[in-house]
Structure 1
Amino acid sequence: MMWAPGKYIQGQNVLANLGVYVRLLGESALIISDSRVYNLVGKAISDALKARKIRYGWTEFCGECCFEEIERISRQAEKGRAEVIIGVGGGKTLDIAKAVAVNRKVPMVMVPTIAATDAPTSSSSIIYSKEGVFEKVLSHSRNPELIVVDVGVIAKAPVRFLVSGMGDALATWFEADATFNSDSDNEVGGKPTRAAHILAKLCFDILMKHALPAKLAVEKERIIPAVDLIIEANILLSGLGFESGGLAAAHAIHNGLTVLEETHSYLHGEKVAVGTVAQLFLESKDKSIINQVLTFCNQLRLPMSLGDLGLAALSPPRLMEVAEAACRAEENIHNEPFDVTPKMVSDALLAADVYLREFRAQQQSTSL
């Protein structure tokens, strides 16, 4: 089984044509974003909608994708009789927009302003508590009808967001492969298609070849073909690959890490990168694969271990709390092709810490 968004449009200055695409879905819209994002792209969006005579209102997203916020904005959408919901911003804003659109039974349009996750493509919303602790994945009956990705807007965002998106996308191939090998269901409730499996591998291949050039270009405020490729990998390929290919240990470990308040300052993809490295140790991957992933993360300055998250001194009971959360019955860690216990997760995280110290010491000695 494979699901996908209705339309995916990516390029420079495509935001100017937003009204053309939205007009095919409805005559009135509610825009959801935080105030910073609206100050950044609000005028461009307003001009695009006005040009097509689309009525619109705006509501401010208050920062956390929680049920209380979904209900609050859903009431505003009902009051304004919005025929289309437009989410503008990062992953949590877009997840809120998806949930509101499903509540109101109207089309959803995603306008990401960063490429930090694959949230724009998916048919789910990640629900947190008001305090930022992961609660559940809210699965919807459809993907967004439209995704508009303006490369120029995304390239102007702080490079940390793009790199975080690479950390999220890094997990896609390893999790899809684990799901495929265990014959588990994907995120839309069916067996992964070979197309999704291949797209997940393509995502990985693009990251390995183009990640560093894209990062360096964005740091210098330049747009080169590698930037375009990485944005597509972070948003589209990773989104298709995880949803229709399947999730496994990496994202489950991310979810476990969110029980620690100390991790809340790290972006989603940064924590997923740590989960991915732990998954490689959990699966006893070849040293060559582990070193390839560590080299990739090291070049991008992505965290790879508990120590990189400032958790080197984490007590055994608190580490077990993370591991137990990662192994909850509903978690995707059970898509691994073997039974996983909290002790195995704890051991994998600790093994990654030890190996990474040796890896960095060797890297430093060879550079002298």
Structure 2
Amino acid sequence: MNQSLIVRGAPQEYECCEGAWDNLEEHLNRRGMKRVFILHGKDSWTAAQPYFPEMASIDKMFVNYGGECTDERTAELTKLFNESSFDTIIAVGGGKVADLGKAVAYQCKTPIIILPTLAATCAAYTPLSVIYKQDGSMDRYDVFPVSNALVLIEPKVILYSPKELMIAGIGDTLAKWYEADSMISQLTVPSIEIQVAAFAARKCRDVLLEESQAALDAMDSQKMNQAFLNVVETNILLGGMVGGFGDDYGRTSGAHSIHDALTILPESHHQLHGNKVAYGVFVQLVIEGKWNEIDQLIPFYHQLKLPTCLSDMGMAHITEAEIERVAKRATVEHETIHYMKETITFKVVKNAMIELEDYIKEK
């Protein structure tokens, strides 16, 4: 493996507590920021507005992000930002809002402040953006040389968010351990930075397997509990630490390559990011021959209704030729699946996807 190792450990400032958003105006004033460009979604903004502070001393422009994080939308918003003298960008919403805000902030050479409304990814924590093509397929990851300036998490907003998005976040974050371990286990002497990443990845797995159901029960009852707070911070902070300290050794390997490849199929677009990653974990484990690990995870997947196979994602009808297309996309030269110790070809991935389907049917 010849991978990058640059530590981007954390945002400049991070706060997770009830009432965290109430301090936003104070944070802005401390930074001398008086004019802010506020990027938000649609449904998430409706949920967030009751908690968003009025900030009478701050001039504000509110902009709907448009639904996608693409180069084209980045260019449009960069132009809009540069037409006025704004001090910063505040991204309020889920992963795509955060990623678009980071991309625009980097282009505009301005700080990015993120107020997540979901715990579906670690996007609020990490200085990178997932860029998509206009057809909805994933294009690339852009990693930025500057940290996010401030992350404020209001747990109440996430408590009332759609439960299926939290479940997808659990699927995405659970993958941190399996993907990082497939790379880190190849190292004879892991550096201190990589040891921190490995600790965070293992902690992600342990917290999620032990506390996810109690956290989801809190969302059902709309009563905060410690398990809910732990899972929120695992999905956002701990998940972000894995890549933040491990860099290429802690970001993605097999599971995310499968996710990226699935995005070429329009049938997959209705599936949440974390669900496709969770499926990718199983494909990766088949490639590694870790059937016992799959058996141990199946009850957890079933409990949370995470997909174990293509059929669970409503994609049982896809043809062998389409599976081959996915396998070829998953194994293009730049994909991180090649960080695994196994020799990966499209035939290896294709066979793993078919084997997994057959194995789950027998279960």
Q: TM-score range by the shorter chain?
A: over 0.9
From 39, 44, 51, the equivalent of 2:46 is 39
Alignment match, 2:326: 322
Alignment match, 2:196: 195
Alignment match, 2:20: 14
After superposition, what is the alpha-carbon deviation per residue over 1:30-87, rounded to whole angstroms, capped at 9, x for unaligned?
A: 100123333332354341x32xx22221111110110111011111111222111111
From 282, 285, 288, the equivalent of 2:290 is 285
What value does the CA root-mean-square deviation take over the aligned residues?
A: 1.9
After superposition, what is the alpha-carbon deviation per residue over 1:153-195, rounded to whole angstroms, capped at 9, x for unaligned?
A: 00101100110100100100011111212459x9xxx996211
From 41, 45, 63, the equivalent of 1:59 is 63
Given residue 15 of structure 1, which amino acid in structure 2 is its aligned partner? W
3-state secondary structure, aligned to 2:63 = strand
Given residue 83 of structure 2, which amino acid in structure 1 is its aligned partner? K
Q: Are the equivalent residues in 1 in contact too, given 2:159–2:218 (CA < 8 A)?
A: no
Alignment match, 1:305: 309
Structure 1 gaps, min length 5: 360-368
Alignment match, 2:221: 220
Which range is displaced more, 33-42 or 195-204? 33-42
Q: Are the equivalent residues in 1 in contact too, given 2:21–2:53 (CA < 8 A)?
A: no
What is the TM-score normalised by the length of structure 1? Answer: 0.91
From 266, 270, 273, the equivalent of 1:265 is 270
3-state secondary structure, aligned to 1:62 = coil
3-state secondary structure, aligned to 1:320 = helix
Q: 1:330, CA displacement in angstroms?
A: 1.1
Structure 2 gaps, min length 5: 1-5
Q: 1:242, CA displacement in angstroms?
A: 3.4
Given residue 295 of structure 2, which amino acid in structure 1 is its aligned partner? N
Distance in 2, matches of 1:355 and 1:286, equals: 10
Alignment match, 1:295: 299
Which range is displaced more, 235-244 or 140-149? 235-244
Q: Does 1:24 align with 2:30?
A: yes
Given residue 323 of structure 2, which amino acid in structure 1 is its aligned partner? L
Tell me the percent identity: 30
After superposition, what is the alpha-carbon deviation per residue over 1:78-130, rounded to whole angstroms, capped at 9, x for unaligned?
A: 12221111111011111000001101111111111011111111111111112
After superposition, what is the alpha-carbon deviation per residue over 1:274-305, rounded to whole angstroms, capped at 9, x for unaligned?
A: 00111111111151x21222211111001121
Q: Are the equivalent residues in 2 in contact too, given 1:180–1:192 (CA < 8 A)?
A: no
Distance in 2, matches of 1:69 and 1:192, equals: 35
Aligned residues: 351
Q: 1:240, CA displacement in angstroms?
A: 1.6
Runs of 4+ in 1 over 4 A off after TM superposition: none
Q: 1:269, CA displacement in angstroms?
A: 0.3
Alignment match, 2:258: 253
Q: Does 1:105 align with 2:112?
A: no
Given residue 219 of structure 1, which amino acid in structure 2 is its aligned partner? D
Which range is displaced more, 31-40 or 223-232? 31-40
What is the TM-score normalised by the length of structure 2? Answer: 0.92
Given residue 206 of structure 2, which amino acid in structure 1 is its aligned partner? D
Q: Are the equivalent residues in 1 in contact too, given 2:121–2:172 (CA < 8 A)?
A: yes
CA 246–38 in structure 1, closer or farther in 2 if over 3 Å, else same: closer
Q: 1:344, CA displacement in angstroms?
A: 0.9
Which range is displaced more, 158-167 or 337-346? 337-346
Q: Are the equivalent residues in 2 in contact too, given 1:2–1:193 (CA < 8 A)?
A: no
Distance in 1, matches of 2:314 and 2:243, equals: 28
Alignment match, 2:160: 156
3-state secondary structure, aligned to 2:316 = coil
Q: Are the equivalent residues in 2 in contact too, given 1:96–1:125 (CA < 8 A)?
A: yes
Alignment match, 2:3: none
